Structure 1
């Protein structure tokens, strides 16, 4: 089978397509022919070596965490799945594993049946950003109509899900995006939209109960300028040093620096499946064929798009 891997840290040029044996499954695993995999910022953060403390430095490494596909083979102790089922899922440890191949052998606990009302591309786009959005909301604590939330970088895949779920909670949400994302931010539930190309959000007089930065460009030090005295800054893309540093910072200030580390689980996926059933909007910005994987990753890393970028296979 074909698979995408890399033997050194670097930009998309280090990615290469190789031939590997089709994986054999164990009794608790399922073999899936992959139809689509989505691209997430963590993919290139790991590949560029920014997460070495967590990913390690052993090669080869693979890319791609969440995927969708068709069940090819089922392990002897796996209930609930059969050959031909359309499913989606996520690797257990995206720091050390990847789904960028024609087939994947994976524990049955890491996959779920694909709803019939969404495409393979949409299903592959759900686990990582959906779990991250639900984890962030959990970290926010009690949310109601009086809660003011600033979402910076609001119309990527993470923001797409987060805005819709926050709207269901009734929070007052201000979204920061580019002019290209304004209409989407409004459609997904933002009460106010700021175009960062024409207005600097940190210079505004408004302050917020919660600030969450999805762009990776607004750090805790900057966010404090627009935070209320007892508020939270949610950081879903922390540098390794920020994880212990935030614990120390939080001892001395009412403005808390909260690290958001998501771990896909059945609990969160069931919530996502419910949201899909209620009409969750999953915007696929662009789809690349499997052979154009380098182009796909280069495009995704440039940013500036709305929704998700996906790689599909025949």
Structure 2
């Protein structure tokens, strides 16, 4: 089978398409014929060596964490899936595993049946960012129709789900997006949308109960100025150092600094699937064929697009 691997940390140039043996299925696993996988910022952070402490430096490495495809084979002890099922899912340890191949063997507990009304490309876009959005909601605490939330960097994959989940809960949402993301942010439920190329949210006089940064460009120090006295700042793209720093910050102020560390689970996916069946929209900005994997990563890393970027395998 064909698989994308890399044997050293670096730019997209280290990625190679090679021939590998099809993986064997262990107990509790399923073999998936991959139809599509999505690209997440963590993919290139790991590939560039930024996450060495967690990913380790053992090569070769694969890339990609979430996928959609068709069950090819079922391992011992798996009863909820069968050959031919159309599914989507995620690897157990995306720091050390990857799905950028024609076939992958994955833990059956992290594989779910694909909703019939969505494509494989859209299904592949769900797990990582969708789970992160559900985790963020939980970290926000009790959300009511009076809760004022600012979502910075609101129209990537994470924001796409978060805005729609916040709308379900009647929060008062201000979205900060690029010019091309404004209409999407409105459609996904934001009450107010700010174009960051024209306005600076930090110089406005409005304060918020919750500020969540999905862009990696707003620090806790900056966010404090627009937080209410007992407000919360959530960082969805923390650096390894930020975890202990957030703990220290919280000892000395009522304005809380919260790091989001999402780990996909069935409970979170059930929340997502319930919302998807109710009509939550999944925007796939661009789909690349497998052979154009380098162009796909180059496009994704450049940023500035709305929704998700997906690679189709079969």
Which TM class, normalised by the smaller chain length? over 0.9
Greater mean alpha carbon deviation, residues 170-179 or residues 68-77: 68-77
Aligned equivalents of 2:256, 2:62: Cα separation in 1: 35
State the secondary structure of the residue aligned to 1:250. Answer: helix
Quick check: 1:176 aligned with 2:176? Answer: yes
Matches within 5 A, 1:86-101: 86-101=86-101
Displacement after TM superposition at 1:128 (Å): 0.4
Residue aligning to 1:39: 39
Structure 1 partner of 2:29: 29
The equivalent residue for 1:123 is 123
* 1:3 counterpart residue number: 3
2:197 alignment partner in structure 1: 197
Match of 1:288 in 2: 288
1:82 match: 82
Map 1:1-314; keep pairs closer than 5 Å. Answer: 1-314=1-314
User: What is the deviation of 1:27?
Assistant: 2.4
Structure 1: unaligned runs, 5 residues or longer: none
Give the secondary structure class of the aligned counterpart of 1:24.
coil
Distance (whole Å) between structure 2 residues aligned to residue 181 and residue 305 of structure 1: 8
Give a deviation string over 1:166-192, Cα, whole Å, max 9, x none: 001110000000110000000000000
Deviation at 1:76, TM superposition (A): 2.7
Q: How much does 1:287 deviate?
A: 0.2
Structure 2: gaps (5+ residues): none
CA distance, structure 2, for counterparts of residue 257 and residue 144 of structure 1 = 21
* C-alpha separation in 2, matches of 1:28 and 1:213: 37
Q: By how many angstroms is 1:223 displaced?
A: 1.0
CA displacement at 1:77 relative to structure 2: 1.7
Contact 2:35 2:69 in 1 (8 A): yes
Secondary structure of the 1:112 match is strand
* Residues 33-87 of structure 1 deviation map (CA, whole Å, 9 limit, x = unaligned): 0000001111111111111111112221111000000011111321021111100
Once residues 88 and 43 of structure 2 are traced to their aligned partners in structure 1, the CA distance between those partners, rounded to angstroms, is 18
Separation in 2, partners of 1:300, 1:7: 21
Partner deviation per Cα, 1:280-305 (whole Å, 9 max, x = no partner) = 10011000000111100010011110
After superposition, what is the alpha-carbon deviation per residue over 1:91-132, rounded to whole angstroms, capped at 9, x for unaligned? 001111111100001111110110101100111000001100
Structure 2 distance, partners of 1:70, 1:153, is 33
What TM-score do the two structures reach when normalised by structure 1? 0.99
CA contact (8 A) 2:101 2:313 kept: no
Query: Partners in 2 of 1:175 and 1:27 — Cα distance?
Result: 45
2:231 partner SS: strand
SS at match of 2:251: coil
* TM-score under structure 2 length normalisation: 0.99
Tell me the SS of whatever aligns to 1:146: coil
